[in-house]
Structure 1
Amino acid sequence: MDNKQSTSGNSRRKFLKGSALAAAGFYIVPRHVLGGAGFVAPSDKLRVAGIGVGGMGGSDVRGITRTEKADFIALCDVDDTRAKGSRQLHPKAKYYHDFREMLEKEETNIDAVSVSTPDHMHAVAAMMAMKMGKHVYVQKPMAHDIYEARMLTEAAEKYKVVTQMGNQGASGDGVRQMVEWYEAGLIGEATKVYSWTDRPVWPQGIKWPTETVKPPIDLDWDLWLGTAPYKDYVGNLVPFNWRGWWDYGTGALGDMACHIMEPPFRVLGLGYPTSAECSVGSVYVGEFQRGYFPDSCPPSSHITLRFDRPGKDELEFHWMDGGIQPTRPEELAPNEQMGDGGNGVIIEGTKGKMMCSTYGKNPQLLPTSKTKEANVPQTLRRVPGGDSGHYNNWVEACIAGHGSEEYQNLSSPFSVAGPLTESVLMGNLAIRSYDYREPREGNNSQFDYPGRGIKLLWDGANMKITNFEPANQFVKRTYRGDYTL
């Protein structure tokens, strides 16, 4: 485990510096040619099963389909209404409600699985597929908990499957441009990173509703809950607002940080953080009374992570959400936009600074006039189609197989996405680091949050907070029923 952290930067550099793919695309040798005369191939395409095929899952189905190198053999969703678009696109695909049943019945018919469920179901679905030897594409964040992310990362190598997280900016040109600038020394040695988002755009920092309603007629509520504790259905939870509840989602940080924190992670070759601190916004629940609700993500937060880097000074990494933003750099003109307005990244170095928008788009040196003046040779391969080529990047690697050149050129395999996701989820661990207390006179709360007032020290290799034990309850969940990794 210790070696994984120390070599994480090298692995990121290696993926970026693989040999170039042909711009015209990858040529698939037909199976009938490989099989000899008289052999009729059932398909020359990747055979895929989709788990969660409405909403973002529907977008993933369409994106994989557009590669023209994949067929969907089976589709699975717990919400028949949301699944309609994907079912119309692939009318011959068998349809299921329970992903476990689908994988068991279709095991011999599929090569790969796309997982686009709510966050709390990512890991169990992906792990079952990987244990069957199936390649997996998993929406961001690849897991709900730190432990899940670590287990998925290790399983990808154990089962020799091709993996990709759905943070499409990892395939974009922007992050590669930033790596080239940094390795050319244009900003010197990085000292601080600031990243931010205007999310959430869904309710957070609220009490769980007391009024229950009947689930939508086309929704299997028990299967939707999956690994999460049983609760009666409440209004306006599905299809989108689940993101603000810890049982199912990972808040603004989990939703956007895999997109926004990814460029500096890649540029700087980061591994596991060594500590986490946080402050959060709260809401007023009564006259002069602030409310913290353990079921719900906060309306805003500021996370500070620190990373040790061999032979270099400690790096300070800031995340801000809920509309909180860092101070504008002096090098940015008064009327120039910081990031894309609502989201962005600034990397401060000993010789200068650079900035980008969501997904690593629009990379710029600061002051921005330096961007056009920069004359750095292109040393890193580009993914054909940039961020739009993220699906094709995965499909081609699946077809070529684990260990192939295409596999080495993956943009966001779990070996890279895993440490990133763990760092993202470290922020949520800090936010949630409460300590259960019996109600006291004059205080009806059963939860205090002392973990928010200290620096939480993280032993990355062993996945453990070493100085505040109550925080470790958020490293790994207990699943409901017979769900398991």
Structure 2
Amino acid sequence: MDNVKKETEANKGRRNFIKTTAVASAGFMIVPRHVLGGTGFIAPSDRLIIASVGVGGKGKSDVAMFDKSGKADIGYLCDVDTRRAADSVKAFPKAKFYKDWREMYEKESKNFDAVSVSTPDHNHAVQAMAAMQLGKHVYVQKPLAHDIFEARALTAAAKKYNVVTQMGNQGASNNGPRQMKEWYDAGLIGDVHTVYAFTDRPVWPQGIPWSANKADIPKELDWDLWLGTAPYKEFVDKLVPFNWRGWWDYGTGALGDMGCHLLEAPFSVLGLKYATEVQASVGSVYVDEFKRGYFPDSCPPSSHVTLKFPKTAKTKGDVTVHWMDGGVQPARPEELGANETFGDGGNATLFIGTKGKMMAGTYGLNPRLLPTSKTAEIKVKEKFARVKDEANGHYAQWVEACIAGPGKKELSSPFEIAGPLTECLLMANLAIRGADIQRKDAAGKITYPGRYSKLLWDNDQMKVTNFDDVNQFVKREYRKGWTLGS
């Protein structure tokens, strides 16, 4: 690292709290604005240095989109699996690489401004909380957290530490949700009382037993660090990099994967926040043609969840939201033509009002009034500012907001919005998990009391008041050595 001392003087133009050594090791030459001269460049003080945790898969595209904003430098990369990280490492050769995000935070925290988290759901909260406690802005992939307690804690922390936050449900920056807000505010469909959202996910295995076939841990993967907060289990093949989504220890099922994309529009259009009650029915699997399987560690293959939200400033009464996954869909709206596609086919959000209906596909794309002929016929005044480049601009929106500072720029999915949205999904998962809780009656017969209950939610206490068995999932126990924040 002989070049560190040589670059020290040039680096003095960087923000005062940035130390020169790690910036130099990451390969950046930071010089004052007046040295560069001319126009059309972005001065060092107007650039964001990002440390990215999880840089394979979705993380790979995340760091690429931050870079594409033109106002960010990818200074640090971190991933527990060097195989998955290889493309990002190649794309950003000047970025310093770590396997352990805790080591990266400890050694480099004075050298970056913001953190992007794109890891499995069960580690989102600890990685984001630690970054915020260091005063770093954070971008966290959806869902924001794995359990309700974590989501509430992150929402509070964003405010406490006064940092710029964004959840990675990029559809929140699309024009579609804004168009639907304009239609709704114009009174075109009356007062919405019911919403349906459905997805064809999961596209990974669910409702299955844990594999009994142990496998060798790939030398490139730090399995213990991948497990993070989750209970220790022996490595099994095909769990990573994707199928973890179907296991409660790590993922949040189809709701966690697609709910933030499909329920964001109802939240923004109707001003929904916290539900008061929830109930669920789940699909069964069979180990043979006569015997049902019981695999409570795995998310079910399909579910139908009903949530009730209290009246908001934009509704005249309570709102009932139906969630369906595993290919389950509601009846097609009568106003939809026999050969017209419901949403985008596999996914949709449907609003039912007192005067009409409207729907959209994933990410709020292709919003349409029903019957669809109304969409072209009726025009309303644009009242909500659009995000440049829509979903792709979701990343630049956060980068620019970080540079501007807290409270200076509007964001599509800051934690104050993303937190309650995520809690809604996780509350639905309480009902889904509750449906798999077994008890034995006096005669020794197995019963499933959660399958026939409506769970009543005390939002202030963060607990279900009438079926205590599910409250164990509101705040899970971390593996020894892991905590949520300092």
Shared fold per TM-score greater than 0.5: yes
> What is the rounded CA distance, in whole Å, between the counterparts of 1:439 and 1:50 in structure 2?
51
> What is the rounded CA distance, in whole Å, between the counterparts of 1:329 and 1:41 in structure 2?
54
> Is 1:325 matched with 2:329?
yes
Matched residue type, 2:382: Q
Aligned ranges 1:172-211 → 2 under 5 Å: 172-211=174-213
> Is 1:46 matched with 2:45?
no
The alpha-carbon deviation at position 313 of structure 1 amounts to: 1.9
Of 222, 236, 239, 2:238 maps to 236
- Residue 249 of structure 1 aligns to a residue whose secondary structure is coil
> Is 1:226 matched with 2:228?
yes
Match of 1:18 in 2: none
Match of 2:7 in 1: none
The alpha-carbon deviation at position 359 of structure 1 amounts to: 0.2
The structure, 1 or 2, with the larger RCO (C-alpha pairs under 8 Å, 6+ apart) is: 1
Match of 2:3 in 1: none
Q: Does the 8 Å CA contact 1:278/1:431 hold for their aligned counterparts?
A: yes
Match of 1:370 in 2: 374
> What is the rounded CA distance, in whole Å, between the counterparts of 1:169 and 1:42 in structure 2?
30
Match of 1:386 in 2: 390
- Residue 310 of structure 2 aligns to a residue whose secondary structure is strand
> What is the rounded CA distance, in whole Å, between the counterparts of 1:442 and 1:482 in structure 2?
39
Q: Does the 8 Å CA contact 2:124/2:140 hold for their aligned counterparts?
A: yes
> Is 1:71 matched with 2:68?
no
Of 332, 353, 356, 1:352 maps to 356
Match of 1:279 in 2: 281
> What is the rounded CA distance, in whole Å, between the counterparts of 1:67 and 1:449 in structure 2?
51
The alpha-carbon deviation at position 90 of structure 1 amounts to: 1.1
> What is the rounded CA distance, in whole Å, between the counterparts of 2:437 and 2:257 in structure 1?
26
Q: Does the 8 Å CA contact 1:31/1:44 hold for their aligned counterparts?
A: no
The alpha-carbon deviation at position 159 of structure 1 amounts to: 0.2
The alpha-carbon deviation at position 42 of structure 1 amounts to: 5.6
The alpha-carbon deviation at position 216 of structure 1 amounts to: 1.5
> Is 1:336 matched with 2:347?
no
> What is the rounded CA distance, in whole Å, between the counterparts of 1:283 and 1:440 in structure 2?
27
The alpha-carbon deviation at position 44 of structure 1 amounts to: 3.9
Comparing 229-238 with 431-440, greater Cα deviation is found at 431-440
The alpha-carbon deviation at position 89 of structure 1 amounts to: 1.1
Match of 1:464 in 2: 463
Match of 2:253 in 1: 251
CA RMSD of aligned residues (A): 2.0
The alpha-carbon deviation at position 271 of structure 1 amounts to: 0.8
> What is the rounded CA distance, in whole Å, between the counterparts of 1:314 and 1:439 in structure 2?
36
- Residue 424 of structure 2 aligns to a residue whose secondary structure is helix
> What is the rounded CA distance, in whole Å, between the counterparts of 1:466 and 1:227 in structure 2?
27
Aligned ranges 1:237-316 → 2 under 5 Å: 237-310=239-312, 312-316=316-320
Q: Does the 8 Å CA contact 2:46/2:403 hold for their aligned counterparts?
A: no
Q: Does the 8 Å CA contact 2:457/2:464 hold for their aligned counterparts?
A: yes
Runs of 5+ consecutive residues of structure 2 not aligned to the other structure: 1-29
Q: Detail structure 1 runs of 4+ shifted over 6 Å in the superposition.
A: 438-443
> Is 1:396 matched with 2:400?
yes
Q: Does the 8 Å CA contact 1:212/1:233 hold for their aligned counterparts?
A: yes
> What is the rounded CA distance, in whole Å, between the counterparts of 1:42 and 1:68 in structure 2?
12
Of 102, 105, 112, 1:103 maps to 105
Of 159, 162, 167, 2:161 maps to 159
The alpha-carbon deviation at position 34 of structure 1 amounts to: 9.7
The alpha-carbon deviation at position 386 of structure 1 amounts to: 1.0
> What is the rounded CA distance, in whole Å, between the counterparts of 2:45 and 2:185 in structure 1?
44
Comparing 86-95 with 347-356, greater Cα deviation is found at 86-95
- Residue 286 of structure 1 aligns to a residue whose secondary structure is coil
Match of 1:145 in 2: 147
Match of 2:412 in 1: 411
Matched residue type, 1:309: K
> Among the aligned pairs, what percent are the same residue?
64
- Residue 317 of structure 1 aligns to a residue whose secondary structure is strand
Q: Does the 8 Å CA contact 2:439/2:448 hold for their aligned counterparts?
A: no
Q: Does the 8 Å CA contact 2:261/2:362 hold for their aligned counterparts?
A: yes
For this pair of structures, how many residues does the alignment match?
A: 448
TM-score normalized by the length of structure 1? 0.89
Matched residue type, 2:191: E
The alpha-carbon deviation at position 33 of structure 1 amounts to: 5.3
TM-score normalized by the length of structure 2? 0.89
Comparing 285-294 with 452-461, greater Cα deviation is found at 285-294
The alpha-carbon deviation at position 440 of structure 1 amounts to: 9.1
- Residue 221 of structure 2 aligns to a residue whose secondary structure is coil
- Residue 377 of structure 1 aligns to a residue whose secondary structure is coil
> What is the rounded CA distance, in whole Å, between the counterparts of 2:294 and 2:280 in structure 1?
14
In structure 2, relative to structure 1, the CA distance for the partners of 1:60 and 1:172 (3 Å cut) is same
> What is the rounded CA distance, in whole Å, between the counterparts of 2:98 and 2:326 in structure 1?
37
Matched residue type, 1:57: G
> Is 1:424 matched with 2:425?
yes
From the CA coordinates, give the structure whose radius of gyration is larger.
2
> What is the rounded CA distance, in whole Å, between the counterparts of 1:378 and 1:232 in structure 2?
55
> What is the rounded CA distance, in whole Å, between the counterparts of 2:249 and 2:442 in structure 1?
27
- Residue 128 of structure 2 aligns to a residue whose secondary structure is helix
The alpha-carbon deviation at position 103 of structure 1 amounts to: 0.6
Q: Does the 8 Å CA contact 2:58/2:118 hold for their aligned counterparts?
A: yes
> What is the rounded CA distance, in whole Å, between the counterparts of 1:430 and 1:307 in structure 2?
15
> What is the rounded CA distance, in whole Å, between the counterparts of 1:449 and 1:31 in structure 2?
66
The alpha-carbon deviation at position 435 of structure 1 amounts to: 4.0
The alpha-carbon deviation at position 236 of structure 1 amounts to: 0.5
> What is the rounded CA distance, in whole Å, between the counterparts of 1:221 and 1:423 in structure 2?
31
> Is 1:132 matched with 2:131?
no
> Is 1:454 matched with 2:458?
no
Runs of 5+ consecutive residues of structure 1 not aligned to the other structure: 1-29
- Residue 345 of structure 1 aligns to a residue whose secondary structure is strand
Matched residue type, 1:338: F
The alpha-carbon deviation at position 481 of structure 1 amounts to: 2.1
In structure 2, relative to structure 1, the CA distance for the partners of 1:287 and 1:336 (3 Å cut) is closer
What whole-Å deviation, never above 9, does each CA across 1:381-419 have from its counterpart, x for those lacking one?
000111110000100000000021x1xx10000000000
Q: Does the 8 Å CA contact 2:100/2:225 hold for their aligned counterparts?
A: yes
> What is the rounded CA distance, in whole Å, between the counterparts of 2:474 and 2:415 in structure 1?
18
> What is the rounded CA distance, in whole Å, between the counterparts of 2:55 and 2:33 in structure 1?
34
What whole-Å deviation, never above 9, does each CA across 1:122-161 have from its counterpart, x for those lacking one?
0000000000000000000010001100000000000000
> What is the rounded CA distance, in whole Å, between the counterparts of 1:414 and 1:34 in structure 2?
37
Matched residue type, 1:357: G
The alpha-carbon deviation at position 45 of structure 1 amounts to: 1.2
Match of 1:15 in 2: none
Match of 2:476 in 1: 477
Q: Does the 8 Å CA contact 2:33/2:44 hold for their aligned counterparts?
A: no
> What is the rounded CA distance, in whole Å, between the counterparts of 2:43 and 2:350 in structure 1?
51
What whole-Å deviation, never above 9, does each CA across 1:105-132 have from its counterpart, x for those lacking one?
1110000000000000000000000000
